[in-house]
Structure 1
Amino acid sequence: MMIQSRCKFKVKRQYRSSLGRDIATCLTYSTLVIGLVLMQYDYVSAFEPDFVFPLENVTVAQGRDATFTCVVNNLGGYRVSGESGSPARVAWIKADAKAILAIHEHVITNNGRLSVTHNDFNTWTLNIKSVKMEDRGQYMCQVNTDPMKMQTAFLEVVIPPDIVYEETSGDMMVPEGGSAKLVCKARGYPKPKITWKREDGREIIARTGPHGKTKSHQVEGEMLSLTKITRSEMGAYLCIASNSVPPSVSKRMKVQVHFHPLIQVPNQLVGAPLLTDVTLICNVEASPKAINYWQRENGEMIISNDRYLMSEIENSMYAVQMTLVLRKTQKSDFGGYKCISKNSIGDAEGTIRLYEMELHKKKPNRYNNYDDINGSNDEDNEAIRSEDQNDESIFGSNGRLFKDAQSNLINSSKASTSNFLLIVSFISPVFSVILSKLLSITL
């Protein structure tokens, strides 16, 4: 009756409007009134509430927000225990703590980070802001039917790894042949895994295992033991903590291995001609870093200037190449040189001897010049060639007579001897025979 009268009133009041507009106004008003009646008298549904989707587990990093969503059908018109019972409601419960968090849209617990929302249809949502580790556990979406219906899901709170610096090693200095133990501690949930690597990508040498000396690019565990350490193991080591929750974190630890200097000389004897440049080299290994310098064999220290250029090239953390360049060498530059290296543990020196090298000069090719000036003359050129060949044979680079020069001298001697015997034979035939035998034995 109330709906009907109101519609008549509306039509009468809006008699100048179109008929369609009056009908729409009446239907809208009627719908609102029916809704209010149902809410006031709690319309009873014949269908029991049921869950549409399962409640899903949630994993969230500490400090982020988490949400549980519960979807229930046929809840609005259902009464518990018949028509006289109370209407069905959705409740949120922390199952492991047996604590009621919220009922329908009202938060019960005294926790400002929790809130409940409802979309006025069939979806209820539990919101947890800035999740803490204490929020981790089992959550329940419950409907107070008879018997009770419920769904559960787990909230997993994870924490990214973090290095515990007060329990983690720092940089170390170890004598060569000694031992070093590096420790790395990290917190997080799940418990972080510790992995060791060398910063330069080289292998880590372990000598404490049951299999003796082993090499690997990474080692797992909170402690890294380096025994009987050598200079090649010097460098930076990385402790990396990870637990599948980004980001992973790492700490850099520098291991210094100390030893006295060692010098290697590639060439201990170096030759150079006058007025040329020559380079002397010494390779030095030392840790901690050493003071390196050059001396003459008489103890005079060499100072870098226009004629003496000194430089150092670092090949690694402990290896250095010393270089001394002598420009336009003079007579006074030849002799002994020392490369010296000193650090806090000890010192070492290497010796290089510089000697003078003589350059051989070639004789000029005279017949070529003759041809260029006076034209070609085969006979003259042949004579000059013959003379040059005799000269080259006698004055070779090794300072010895060549075979062809010796044969020319012997042939010349034989010719002179035969002429002498011919003269003697005219004087005394017997004496000439004896003399010729003696000469033949000699030649």
Structure 2
Amino acid sequence: MSVIIFLISMMLFRLSYAKDEPKFVGPDTNVTVVVGRDAILSCQVQNLQNYKVAWLRVDTQTVLTIGPHVITKNHRVGVTGADPQAWSLTIRDVRMSDGGHYMCQVNTEPMITQTHHLHVAVPPDIVSGSNGEVMVREGDAVSLHCAATGIPYPTITWRREDSTQFKINGQNVMKWSGVWLNLTAVPRDLDGAFLCIATNGVPPSVSKRILLHVLCKPSALVSHKMIGGYLGEPVVLQCNIEANPTPVIYWTHHDGNKLQNGTKYQAVMSSQRYKHVSLLRISNVSRDDIGPYFCNVENSMGNARDDVTLYTLVTTTVKTTTTTARTETTLAEIDTTSVTSVQPYADMVEDPNHYGVDTDNFVVVLSQHQMQNLDISPSS
């Protein structure tokens, strides 16, 4: 009987002793911190009693802290234990080299340990790729490249700066993923900026701007093939142009000579990417100004031209007669009254051998309203 009582007493003692032994509260942890920020690894111990908690760097077997004391000479390492059950290892201004496993250890016999892993995240950084400006001929292929680093490894996304679609692999897309953007049969309307955007879930994302120049032959298109202008008034001719590189633009009249800016002619140009608009202002229009004008465009890729014909609008005077009867005599007095109307020189006949215009061949066309205003009555 005494043996049984002894065994029972030993079991109860061991249970009581085991109940009072230190033990960890909570599982191992994985902590992710962005490089440059502070990391905190927490270790909670129940029933610590007079035992000590130590932190070690696993890969180097370096003792960092014992109890409230910092052992390592690394000034960025600290420890807090305000709560007897919570012992936190602090690493300030985390660096890439700080990533790895850290062990929380209690000096029991045998010792107990808990391992925590520190992940150091790095925002993306674009390290290489295409130059800021890339040139390609219209219809050719071009490849844009963009490479980035970061932890986790970044994803590269391409899109146009103006957020419009572009064609790749025969499909119209708003964006494309990959370190390479391969464009085939490049059209001129693809001229413009592309953005290479690197993201990995760690802010901030970064981007690089690559300006794609699509070199193309010039094209010219006037807004209207026929333009009318009043004698003595100014008129403006417009030519819409597509060309890259930026072209040389000049205007000529039917004699082929370049028109120079001055009091008579003023030419201005505005550009947006490969699209350009040239305006020619002709002051004080006269009959010498009628005829074709040519918008001429030249760049290293070729040349083009289009023409617009200027005709004049003038006022014409039509004679009408008004008959006034007098009671005193049998004579009729005829008064002449002038009716003024605006008429266009509507038709032009050109000499096929040159661009000169014979103004005598212009035909004045009267409207129905103008015909009704003509009062041609017989004399009495």
Structure 2-normalised TM-score?
Answer: 0.74
Show the counterpart of 2:41. Answer: 68
Show the counterpart of 1:337. Answer: 293
Q: Which has the higher strand share?
A: 2
Structure showing greater radius of gyration is: 1
Show the counterpart of 2:207. Answer: 250
Tell me how far 1:183 sits from its aligned partner. 0.4
Structure 2 residue 136 is the aligned partner of structure 1 residue 174 = yes
Show the counterpart of 1:296. Answer: 253
Cα deviation, 1:265-303, whole Å, max 9, x if unaligned, reads 232233334223322221111110011111122122212
Asked which structure has the greater RCO (Cα within 8 Å, sep 6+), the reply is 2
- In structure 2, runs of 5+ residues without a counterpart are 1-16, 325-333, 335-364, 372-376
3-state SS of 1:184 partner: strand
Tell me how far 1:326 sits from its aligned partner. 1.9
Amino acid at match of 1:342: E
Amino acid at match of 2:52: R
The alpha-carbon distance between structure 1 residues 364 and 142, as it changes in their structure 2 partners (threshold 3 A), is: farther
Cα deviation, 1:106-163, whole Å, max 9, x if unaligned, reads 4445544323343384432212122222222232222223454333322111000011
CA distance in 1, matches of 2:162, 2:25: 57
| Equivalent residues, number | 320
Show the counterpart of 1:229. Answer: 186
The alpha-carbon distance between structure 1 residues 232 and 45, as it changes in their structure 2 partners (threshold 3 A), is: closer
Instruction: Say whether the 8 Å CA contact 1:55–1:68 is kept in structure 2.
Output: no
- After superposition, residues 116-265 of structure 1 pair within 5 angstroms as 116-119=79-82, 121-165=84-128, 167-206=129-168, 209=169, 213-265=170-222
Amino acid at match of 1:266: S
3-state SS of 1:134 partner: helix
The alpha-carbon distance between structure 1 residues 357 and 365, as it changes in their structure 2 partners (threshold 3 A), is: same
Structure 1-normalised TM-score?
Answer: 0.64
Show the counterpart of 2:265. Answer: 308
Amino acid at match of 1:62: V
Q: Which has the higher helix share?
A: 1
Identity %: 39
3-state SS of 1:75 partner: coil
CA distance in 2, matches of 1:366, 1:97: 121
CA distance in 2, matches of 1:131, 1:171: 37
Instruction: Say whether the 8 Å CA contact 1:55–1:69 is kept in structure 2.
Output: no
Instruction: Say whether the 8 Å CA contact 2:52–2:67 is kept in structure 1.
Output: yes
Amino acid at match of 1:353: T
Instruction: Say whether the 8 Å CA contact 2:48–2:84 is kept in structure 1.
Output: no
CA distance in 2, matches of 1:329, 1:49: 104
CA distance in 1, matches of 2:120, 2:230: 80
CA distance in 2, matches of 1:106, 1:47: 25
Show the counterpart of 2:240. Answer: 283
Show the counterpart of 1:356. Answer: 312
Match of 1:102 among 37, 42, 65: 65
CA distance in 2, matches of 1:47, 1:259: 85
3-state SS of 2:189 partner: helix
Tell me how far 1:312 sits from its aligned partner. 1.9
CA distance in 2, matches of 1:317, 1:288: 9
Tell me how far 1:363 sits from its aligned partner. 6.1
Instruction: Say whether the 8 Å CA contact 1:292–1:339 is kept in structure 2.
Output: yes
CA distance in 1, matches of 2:87, 2:314: 102
Instruction: Say whether the 8 Å CA contact 1:360–1:397 is kept in structure 2.
Output: no
Amino acid at match of 1:356: T
The alpha-carbon distance between structure 1 residues 327 and 72, as it changes in their structure 2 partners (threshold 3 A), is: same
Tell me how far 1:71 sits from its aligned partner. 3.1
Instruction: Say whether the 8 Å CA contact 1:284–1:320 is kept in structure 2.
Output: yes
Q: CA RMSD in A?
A: 3.4
